[in-house]
Structure 1
Amino acid sequence: MSTPISSVFDLEARARKRLPAVIFDYVHGGAGMELTLQRNQDDLCALALRQHDMRDVSHRQMSVKMVGEPATIPLAIGPTGLAGLTWANGEVEAAKAAEHFGVPFCLSTMSICSIEDVADATSRPFWFQLYLMKEHKVNESLIRRAHEAGCSALILTLDLHVQGKRWADARNGLSVPPRLTLHNTWDILSHPRWLVGMARSKRRTFGNLQGELKQAKNLSALTQWIESQFDPSFDLDTVKWVRKIWDRKLILKGIMHVDDARLAVDIGADAIIVSNHGGRQLDGAPSSISVLPEIVEAVGDRIEVFFDGGIRTGGDIVKAMGYGARACLSGRAWLYGLAAEGMDGVLCALHLLEQELSDCMALTGLDDVAHIDPGVVTAQPALRPPGRPGSGGPSPELRSAYR
């Protein structure tokens, strides 16, 4: 009998067991020494939640709107590349789970399933995340296809002037489909459940780029092409160009500085995502949660502020919203579910987060996740020695007891 799933961490353990290391390391890892990746979780864990007990919390409101779209809980399924390598037709399965549960789904430019695949499999409009290339014809084609597919929002990722160096991916020789080497052949063959399951996949390469460029069949060749396409001159004018040609909701992802947040307001973006790319770009950057309050303070109510970076529990959602976020996005949490059990795993992850969110609200005295009292989310209070209030130390009686 398999171990019951009681948290996202259980899904992570199942994903690790089911996936070859080359795939799991891609999902799980970050850039360089993974300092930023670790900070995201450590800093969320370091925050404390204050209890308010004498309140009626029998009716708890957890639904919100994200750029005008209803969400059953304040969470969207964030864009992640290569999700279709963890489970056959993975992005389609995740999109169906999001639609069934009632949260927004965002498809990555670097997905295995294409924009059209997801549109054909779902009835609810989804979001599309765009990486801009130097070749404007590719950008224009992707934007046009997203528009024709009925995507209701475009997430423009800002923090990819160069690609972060992910040591595990380089060591494993990650490619699409996975390239067999002496290092990983045995590991792949020792995961027959994954291998047999992937035989059902409709695609074996990058669905959004297939037909756009010939390099899409191999990640190594594609990486070289992408690196040649990264443009260090990507700036405000580039974002303005996207705002001009995209007439629906525009969300800017990768905001970690108040200046960039203010610029996003100025150009007419509908929302920003405070995100350090899940620790996969700049290693050594601060955690997303540590910069969230100052960004929220800088923009006020002029733009919706979403949070991304380390969400693993419903309590993490309360912490992010208590720090000022309107809602959150999650990448790894739902990916672990997908890798473990496909669509059912994604639904499992969402239900776990929903139940944890509900419990956390009840125990902190909250009846509406969109209205969290100041001070509910706080730094862990410093420990003081026991004794009389203000004494600065143990009472004389306690000191004498230890003589």
Structure 2
Amino acid sequence: MPERHLPRPGDLRPLLQFRRPILSPVSRRLSAALTIEDLRRIAKRRTPRAAFDYTDGGAEGELSLARARQAFHDVEFRPSILRDVATVDTAADVLGGRSALPFGIAPTGFTRLMHSDGEIAGARVAAEAGVPFALSTLGTRSIEEVKAANPYGRNWFQLYMWKDRERSMALVERAAAAGFDTLLVTVDVPVAGARLRDTRNGMSIPPALTARTVLDAIPRPRWWFDLLTTEPLSFASLGRLSGTVASHVNSTFDATVTFEDLVWITDQWPNKLVVKGIQTIEDARAVVDLGVDGIVLSNHGGRQLDRAPVPFHLLPQVARELSNDTEILLDSGIMSGADIVAAIALGAQFTLVGRAYLYGLMAGGEAGVRRAVEILSSQVTRTMQLLGVTSLAELTPQHVTQLHRLTERP
């Protein structure tokens, strides 16, 4: 039996390490968030149900969303050992420029609904991190406001083609004049997807004050205070409209857009042009043959066609057949830096994160976005080190195995 004795005060002194308290409740919450899922849980507590569900949800049964995330869960890494990984370079070359990290902030609509900081928070953090920021046609800040928030960084503009072609191209001209270097033409929204959470929540722009929303507001006073004491929520490009998200999309977006229209848009834009929403190898080939600079493999984060192809599953085939002819970007389902590394290893030049950024925004405004980028950045670096690589160029398909849950029946 070991001899026991009461500890002397001197023995306890090295064990007594009191941390300086974090007085800011926002900083305290964010510092405790170690993953994007942690930020999501904070966001859910602090954001009204309709706004949170608009970000968090997908179309119909949300199978596309679940499968996109499951695809990344079903990754097995194959690390190399005994490599010097003390220093890791996470920079990526994409669409004629440099990004300090292999991901940028995806275009998102109604962003000030999530937090009053809105797109300005994303643009400022993107500038700090040295990554691109993409502004949506359905953004709640203007092209010029985003440029002012990110004056020296890379700004991209995402275009939905409207029935009013002149107004659509006026936005394109403004983006070019403001120095936006890339146009993302989104092609997977001819009509609005059936986002059932939004329908059940009575989601509208601006938010309607009903008995249900008032009750939902009681434990979330800060969100409503921000909404009611800042500039009224509206679309910077569309003006102040009212109604549901689906009604805006179906009344404004042009469902007749074809490949010929894509050629016409390409002729109007002087810089890099990328087609976002590619979901088959055949469509990937078709737009590449038209001479676009890049494609984004995307099922709109599971928000349009439910049971759509999983972009991460499509990536290896597209990379094998088209990587020499165009730049390949990927979104949908990304929730960690490991997901990003897996996508780069299988042939993507770059990735875009949407929900991950919005969870941070809802959790803590600009500081929350900064925390989301910090989390993803640290995960990218650590995953690369544990795989035994020091640059993105060293990542290859040999580092990743896609485990299969769903297989096509003969």
Q: Report deviation, 1:223.
A: 4.1
Q: Tell me the equivalent position of 1:105.
A: 133
Question: Is 1:166 aligned to residue 190 of structure 2?
Answer: no
**In 2 relative to 1, CA 373–291 (structure 1 residues): closer, same or farther, beyond 3 Å?**
closer
Match of 2:285 in 1: 262
Summarize the alignment of residues 113-262 of structure 1 with structure 2, pairs less than 5 Å apart. 113-123=141-151, 124-210=153-239, 216-220=240-244, 223-262=246-285
Q: Which residue of 2 aligns with 1:308?
A: 331
Q: Deviations over 1:188-247 (max 9, x none)?
A: 24310111223453341111111xxxxx42133x74353134444321001011101111
Q: Which one of 73, 76, 81 corresponds to residue 104 of structure 2?
A: 76
Partner of 1:324: 347
- Rate the CA distance shift 1:375–1:132 in 2: closer, same or farther, 3 A: same
AA of the residue aligned to 1:143:
V
Preserved CA contact (<8 Å) 2:74 2:404 = no
Measure the CA separation in 2 of the matches of 1:179 and 1:329. Answer: 31
Distance 2:106 2:333 in 1: 12
- Name the CA distance, whole Å, in 1 between partners of 2:117 and 2:207: 16
Other structure's SS at 1:128 match: strand
Correspondence for 2:82? 54
CA RMSD in angstroms, aligned pairs only: 1.7
Q: Which residue of 1 aligns with 2:16?
A: none
- Which blocks of at least 5 consecutive residues in structure 2 are unaligned? 1-24, 406-410
1:32 to 47, 54, 60: 60
Q: Which amino acid aligns with 1:70?
A: R
Change (3 A) 1:125 1:361: closer
Residue in 2 aligned with 1:298?
Answer: 321
Distance in 1 (CA, whole Å) between partners of 2:41 and 2:169 is 40
Question: How big is the shift at 1:119?
Answer: 1.8
Bigger drift between 270-279 and 292-301 goes to 292-301
Which of 349, 357, 361 is the aligned partner of 1:334?
A: 357
Residue 173 (structure 1) shift: 1.3
Q: What's the CA shift string for 1:79-130, capped at 9, x where partnerless?
A: 1111111111310111011101110000011111121221222212411101
SS of the residue 2:376 aligns to: helix
How big is the shift at 1:380? 4.2
Cα offsets for 1:304-348 (capped at 9, x unmatched): 000101111111011111111001000000111111111111111
CA distance in 1, matches of 2:277, 2:400: 24
Aligned residues of 2:323 and 2:347 also touching (Cα < 8 A)? no
Within-5 A mapping of 1:353-364: 353-364=376-387
What CA distance in whole angstroms lies between the structure 1 residues aligned with 2:236 and 2:396?
A: 45
Q: Give yes or no for contact 1:270–1:304 (8 Å, CA) kept in 2.
A: yes
- Superposition deviation, residue 134 in structure 1: 1.5
Which region of structure 1 is more displaced relative to structure 2, 362-371 or 347-356? 362-371
State the distance in 1 between where 2:257 and 2:179 align.
27
Instruction: Name the CA shift for 1:297/1:179 in 2 (closer, same or farther; >3 Å).
Output: same
**Does the aligned pair in 2 maintain the 1:107–1:126 contact within 8 Å?**
yes
Kept after mapping to 1: 8 A contact 2:191/2:249: no
Q: Is the deviation greater in 74-83 or in 136-145? A: 136-145
Secondary structure of 2:362's match?
A: helix
Q: 1:340 corresponds to which letter in structure 2? A: A
C-alpha contact 2:160 2:253 (8 A) present in aligned 1 = no
* Cα deviation, residue 10, structure 1: 0.9
Distance 2:333 2:396 in 1: 23
Q: Name the aligned partner's letter for residue 199 of structure 2.
A: A
Native 8 Å contact 2:139 2:237 kept in 1: yes
Deviation at 1:36, TM superposition (A): 0.0
What are the equivalent positions in structure 2 for 1:261-280 lying under 5 Å apart? 261-280=284-303
TM-score (normalised: structure 1)? 0.89
Instruction: Give the conservation status (yes or no) of the 8 Å contact 1:153–1:251.
Output: yes
Letter in 1 for 2:205: V
Secondary structure in 2 matching 1:252 = strand
Aligned-partner SS, 2:93? strand
| Kept after mapping to 2: 8 A contact 1:113/1:203 | no
Deviates most, 107-116 or 277-286: 107-116
Identity %: 36
AA aligned opposite 1:219: G
Partner of 2:42: 14
Does the residue aligned with 1:209 lie in a helix, a strand or coil? coil
Structure-2 separation of matches of 1:372 and 1:57: 13
State the SS of the aligned residue for 1:183.
helix
For 2:84, give the aligned amino acid.
D
Q: Secondary structure at the match of 2:183?
A: strand
